[in-house]
Structure 1
Amino acid sequence: MKRAFLLLLISFLSLHGYSQISYEKGYYINNLNQKIYCFIKNMDWKNNPNNFEFKLTPDGASEIANINTVKEFGIDNTSKYVRHTVKMDRSPEAANQLTHDKAPVFNEELQFLKVLIEGKASLYLYEAGNLKRYFYNIDDLDVEPLVFKSFLTADNKVGQNNEFKQQLWNNLKCPSFKMNRMESLEYNNRSLIKLFLDYNECIDADFVSYQNQTKANIYHITLRPRFNNSSLLIENPVSRAKDTDFGSNSGFGFGIELEYILPFNKNKWSISIEPTYQRFEDKGRSKLDKVFNEELFVSVDYSSIELPISLRHYFFLNNDSKIFANISYSFNVKSDVSIEFERGDGIKLTPLNGKSGNNYAFGIGYKLKDRYSLEIRYLTSKEILENYMAWDSKLQTTSFILGYRIL
């Protein structure tokens, strides 16, 4: 079962190159100010690109354009990037990398900036990994950085250079804007986009927002009952008479998955947590005394509440269908493990009351209409007698999971 599962997983992953990232209607403007209509491969970039793939016709050959030859490009009703030489501060924001220097360290860079709001006052974003920098301009003036930097104060506490608030107070004049609003601004998409939208509306200016206000729900809740096929082996190197291989047995479980779709790369990645109840019951036997052929009857009753945390990748087949693969690390929240031993003459031996450990899981599945799903999940070997030094145990499970999304 394990080998078959791994082969199936590899087959699914091999489809990665064929997963659906489509060419969509768009355009680019070259250095001669020529506007070329084309079809651009929409990567839903998290990090600002330096190049992009395009086709001149839907069935044409794929070509690559880069920042040296393109001044601007956009995908219809989706996104727009413009080339600018800007003052870039790449000072780190991680607490363990901060310095005592409050001032930004600027270097000139040529970058494609993502247009968030385009109007009399325009807002741009540059993102690379954990680095986020916002830029703005008024009318056709030069694009300027909105200054923000974290630093260490004299007593080694984290301080913030929020010069961007003063910049916006000085340059975005609207009768309804008060100083307390500027003071409460945050250096993020939501806060800055709202301010630039309000400003352009305040002065009755034409503007375009490239933020999709009708973006699909990125939080999902799915009910996930499952059929489990499990096997258990317990061993005691000191007393081999109690070693028992229970073989495989079936059972049922239930989980509620809370999934967050990551807002980049065309919704192809997600993370989830799934509180899950599992139960395994079985009976086995071992030879207590091989000379007298005396048997030992062993029963196990195991139940647990687990919390798998998963990283999932989707492979789109069409608008209604997609397959997915995920890797999980499952934390044991609560478990009850009871293993009882009974001799052939009815005498009961000292039982075991175990404690379960954590384990990994790998799954592949199919989702229909973003509501119904089916997953096969292989859980790696789990120790359920973790609190007994003299005992080893291996509980392995393959789950067949049905899903119905309610949110």
Structure 2
Amino acid sequence: MKKLQYLFFILFTIPSFGQINYDAGYIINNNGIKAECLIRNVAWQNNPTEIEFRLNEDDKKTKIANIADIKEFSIGNSYKYKRFNTKIDKSNSEIATLSSEKNPIWKDETLLLKVLVEGEVNLYQYIGNGYQRYFISTGNHEKAEQLIYKEYYAQNNVVTENNAFKQQLFTTLKSDKFTADDFKDLPYEKQKIIDLIIKYNTTKNNQISNFAPKQNQAKTNFKLQLGVNYSDIEIISTSEFETGGIYSATFPKKPVAIIGFEIEYILPINQKKWSLLFSTSFQHYKSETMASNNAPISIDYKTIDILFGVRHYFFLNNQSAIFINGGMIYGSPFNSYSKRERQKYSWEEGTGTIEIKKEIEGNAYAYIGLGYNYHKYNVELRFNSDRELFKSDRKLKSSYSSFGILFSYNFL
């Protein structure tokens, strides 16, 4: 437990030193004046209403600009937001809150819309709490119009869709390159609408800016893991009869090889700093010792561990990062047991010894880790909480303690 406490201290200390990214960009104010600056890039999941910025690298004081002051802002060639006074329908698609109203319920709002595509027709995105909307603009791009999509209850409580956005796009994107069939089965999905807008803008021979690929995108990493755990086991029997006598046994700390496979899902939020983890690995601890009553005892522990966890990165540069992670592991042993001998009691038939074999049970335990990532390579120091190997036997206590180091390679 002390090892876990020390690592928790380290994990909660690191974020205070984590890098906050201020990337080069610009802000255009209400007077149309463009100011180059450094903007805190938090890769917004929901559309922002304010941003933090610094005038230059020497400026240590963070300033705030809210939506009333920002006409437009951009970070490099990845994120660009433009302010519009527009109508928006905020109806969500949760079954419990659907209405029987087919038409949008419009609200006049001032929004910073995220630019997805720029060209003769611009495409924008707005994400709120539990819903997202797409907007388009044409001409001088001073006004943005929401593409209408709404789910609602029709007769007999059947969920129906208002797909007016298909007609809106068909009318706006008139071209000999499109037919009605191109819009008939079009879903209200980001990439499908982006592809359609880009195809139209390409036919107009205009310069096209596609911001979407440079913005938050989910990603899956597949990693081969190799490592070593430094493990020891302690067993204590408190029953004279049930487990063959009162004794304690401490098996030595020894290195145990680990081989495994990890799937990491990088979440499309917060600059890809968060990910979900699933891994499976194999390890085998085998040892023997003398118990406190001078009887030989051995253990053979083979387990497949299944891990679920969360990871957070602190980026140092484009190639490297420090990370912390934690979660739960379920150890699934097979053909695993402890085995010991005891002298026969006086009332038992014959003389000599009896071999007592106890099967090791599955167990769940927590882990936390601290690591370093460089390109496709990871190294991680991992601490595990103690495992109870015989949890259904209240008179037999055990503790499998381990900490280790893991190396992994992302082969995608």
Shorter-chain TM-score range: 0.7 to 0.9
| Of 352, 372, 379, the match for 1:374 | 379
Q: How does 1:44-63 map to 2 (within 5 A)?
A: 44-60=43-59, 61-63=61-63
Quickly say closer, same or farther: Cα 1:401–1:97, change in 2 above 3 A: farther
**CA shift for structure 1 position 243:** 5.1
**CA shift for structure 1 position 176:** 2.6
Does 2:382 match 1:383? no
**CA shift for structure 1 position 391:** 4.5
CA distance in 2, matches of 1:328, 1:20: 24
Q: Is the 8 A contact 2:44 2:269 kept in 1?
A: yes
Which piece of structure 1 moves more, 216-225 or 110-119? 216-225
Q: Is the 8 A contact 2:343 2:354 kept in 1?
A: no
**CA shift for structure 1 position 321:** 3.0
Partner of 2:256: 251
Partner of 1:232: 233
| Of 271, 275, 283, the match for 2:280 | 275
Q: Is the 8 A contact 1:21 1:266 kept in 2?
A: no
Q: Is the 8 A contact 2:332 2:361 kept in 1?
A: no
Q: Is the 8 A contact 1:117 1:196 kept in 2?
A: yes
Does 2:302 match 1:303? yes
Which piece of structure 1 moves more, 166-175 or 5-14? 5-14
**CA shift for structure 1 position 153:** 5.3
Q: Is the 8 A contact 1:354 1:387 kept in 2?
A: no
1:270-313 CA distance string (max 9 Å, x none): 222112112222324435xxxxxx54332221112222122111
**CA shift for structure 1 position 382:** 2.7
Scaled by the length of structure 2, what TM-score is found?
A: 0.86
Partner of 1:64: 64
Q: How does 1:83-94 map to 2 (within 5 A)?
A: 83-94=83-94
Q: Is the 8 A contact 2:333 2:360 kept in 1?
A: no
Task: Give the 3-state SS of the residue equivalent to 1:57 in structure 2.
Answer: coil
Amino acid corresponding to residue 296 of structure 1 in structure 2: A
**CA shift for structure 1 position 365:** 0.8
Q: Is the 8 A contact 2:328 2:365 kept in 1?
A: yes
Partner of 2:42: 43
Partner of 2:106: 106
| Of 350, 364, 369, the match for 1:363 | 369
Partner of 1:135: 135
CA distance in 1, matches of 2:165, 2:337: 62
Q: Is the 8 A contact 1:229 1:251 kept in 2?
A: yes
Q: Is the 8 A contact 1:39 1:56 kept in 2?
A: yes
Q: How does 1:2-41 map to 2 (within 5 A)?
A: 2-41=1-40
CA distance in 2, matches of 1:43, 1:190: 22
1:247-273 CA distance string (max 9 Å, x none): 533311111122222233222222221
Amino acid corresponding to residue 26 of structure 1 in structure 2: G
Partner of 1:261: 266
Partner of 1:290: none
Q: Is the 8 A contact 2:216 2:269 kept in 1?
A: no
Which piece of structure 1 moves more, 168-177 or 215-224? 215-224
1:339-393 CA distance string (max 9 Å, x none): 212126862334222321222211101123x223221111223333355566444
CA distance in 2, matches of 1:208, 1:6: 50
Task: Give the 3-state SS of the residue equivalent to 1:170 in structure 2.
Answer: helix
Amino acid corresponding to residue 348 of structure 1 in structure 2: I
**CA shift for structure 1 position 238:** 4.5
Quickly say closer, same or farther: Cα 1:101–1:214, change in 2 above 3 A: closer
Which piece of structure 1 moves more, 326-335 or 383-392? 383-392
Partner of 1:398: 403
Partner of 2:330: 331
1:148-175 CA distance string (max 9 Å, x none): 2334555556543333223222322122
Task: Give the 3-state SS of the residue equivalent to 1:355 in structure 2.
Answer: coil
Q: Is the 8 A contact 1:174 1:203 kept in 2?
A: no
Long gaps (5+) in structure 2: 345-351
CA distance in 2, matches of 1:198, 1:343: 81
Q: Is the 8 A contact 1:295 1:343 kept in 2?
A: no
Partner of 2:355: 349
**Identical-pair percentage:** 30
Q: Is the 8 A contact 1:241 1:286 kept in 2?
A: no
Long gaps (5+) in structure 1: 288-293
Amino acid corresponding to residue 67 of structure 1 in structure 2: I
Which piece of structure 1 moves more, 185-194 or 139-148? 139-148
CA distance in 2, matches of 1:380, 1:238: 26
CA distance in 2, matches of 1:213, 1:319: 14
Q: When the two structures are aligned, how many residues end up with a matched partner?
A: 399
Which piece of structure 1 moves more, 392-401 or 113-122? 392-401
After superposition, the CA RMSD in angstroms is 2.8
1:196-243 CA distance string (max 9 Å, x none): 101111233333211236999933222221111223344555446255
Partner of 2:74: 74
CA distance in 1, matches of 2:129, 2:383: 32
**CA shift for structure 1 position 334:** 5.8
CA distance in 1, matches of 2:295, 2:129: 59
CA distance in 1, matches of 2:311, 2:129: 20
CA distance in 1, matches of 2:273, 2:38: 21
CA distance in 1, matches of 2:11, 2:339: 42
Scaled by the length of structure 1, what TM-score is found?
A: 0.87
